[in-house]
Amino acid sequence: MDLVLGMDTSNYTTSVCAMDGETGAVVAEHRLLLPVQHGERGLRQSDALFFHVQRLPTVVDHVVAAVTRQVPERGQLAWRAVGASVRPRPAAASYMPVFTAGTQFAETFARLLGIPMVRTSHQEGHLAAADRTLDLDPAKPFLAVHLSGGTSDVLWAQRTSVGYRIVQLGSSSDLNAGQFVDRVGVEMGLGFPAGPALEAMAEAVHHQTVLRFPASVRRADMSFSGPCTAALRALRAGWAREEVAAAVFACVANSVVKAVQSAAATRPDAQACVLAGGVMANRWLRARILHRLRVVCPGLTVRFAPVRYASDNAVGVAAITQRWWLQPAPRF
């Protein structure tokens, strides 16, 4: 069996994926969340980088063990390429220290085995993790929303042999959507990341909440600092935590819908929209966004990354690596 390896060392997750080089099937994947002390709203880059270096051997052990169970004879498998997300976005100036952990490990792996290394970005990995499972025409461009703790981007994207050609149409001018969710959750005393617990609270609200945090959107740019301040003020004023949680997610959903509506008007060549990133693992949020986009953009095909692969993972990086491996261009 020909295998490719994908690695992603993002702000809060160490991820490794082994993929069949011929079929693109996931052979094994494992990921570990980085530890954040209770009450904290994140990690410093230096701490996150240290945790990645600590955890990478453990994550690799899990993947290798799973591969060995499926292909017990070493002579029957061969590592053909390794890929890593080396930066947050596919832009020359895009940089975060945490990605050096996966990059250095992948470079070492490639040199030891004498195989090529494919360099991609964290954002392209998110798109690929979604794109590989969706019924979209790979030749056509699409809109994409990458919503996480570090990103709130609205994009125009088109698949290439080594990733995606991306044009940024909008972003966040202050807080990202994930930061909005986590700051409100930490204020409630929830652990970090707070998304899953806050989602459970929102789902407990079976009526239309009267609490509203207006969406702040200009063209495809979203702003969450004002809504976050309003949410924290509502908590201190005595509003029920469940009501605040529902209002937070309603605000995020409404912001995304307005941003996508604006982007779709400026890029009519994109007939589909793919939504990915850790925040988009929220089923409550997905349902509201889908419902509202069907109303305001009825001609737009809306697709979400599978919940398992919406949050940070290395499957998309492995998929990009596998795509490169299959192309007919000469390899070194």
pLDDT given at position 74: 66
pLDDT given at position 186: 93
Q: What is the mean pLDDT of residues 154-168?
A: 93
pLDDT at 331 over 60: no
pTM listed for this prediction: 0.92
CATH code of the domain occupying 2-133+311-326: 3.30.420.40
pLDDT at 88 over 90: yes
Q: What is the mean pLDDT of residues 271-278?
A: 95
Q: In the 8-state DSSP scheme, what is residue 44?
A: -
pLDDT given at position 332: 45
pLDDT-above-90 percentage for the chain? 84
Domain ranges (residues) in the chain? 2-133+311-326, 168-304
- For 168-304, CATH number out of 3.10.20.30, 3.40.50.1000, 3.40.50.20, 3.30.420.40 equals 3.30.420.40
Nearest to 122 by CA among 23, 219, 202, 52: 52
Q: What is the mean pLDDT of residues 213-217?
A: 95
The band of 233, judged by pLDDT with boundaries at 50, 70 and 90, is: very high
Which residues does 255 contact at the CB level (< 8 Å), separation at least 6? 177, 215, 216, 217, 222, 224
Which residues does 103 contact at the CB level (< 8 Å), separation at least 6? 9, 84, 86, 119
pLDDT at 111 over 60: yes
Q: What is the mean pLDDT of residues 110-115?
A: 97
Convert the pLDDT of each residue in 304-316 to its tens digit: 999 999 999 999 9
pLDDT at 75 over 80: no
The band of 58, judged by pLDDT with boundaries at 50, 70 and 90, is: very high
H or E element, residue 321? helix 315-326
pLDDT at 234 over 80: yes
pLDDT at 327 over 90: no
Q: Supply the DSSP string of 269-317, one letter for each residue.
A: T--EEEEESGGGG-HHHHHHHHHHHHHH-TTSEEEE--HHHHSS-SHHH
Q: What is the mean pLDDT of residues 75-92?
A: 92
- Check if 2-133+311-326 and 168-304 are the same fold: yes
- Which of 160-189 are b and which e, b meaning 16 or more Cβ less than 10 Å from the residue's Cβ? eebbbebeebbbbeebbbbbbbbbbbbbbe
The band of 4, judged by pLDDT with boundaries at 50, 70 and 90, is: very high
H or E element, residue 200? helix 195-203
Maximum average pLDDT range among 71-75, 100-104, 129-133: 100-104
End-to-end Cα, the chain, rounded Å: 20
pLDDT at 64 over 70: yes
How far is it, in rounded angstroms, from Cα 11 to Cα 88? 10
pLDDT at 208 over 90: no
286's tokens = 């997905």
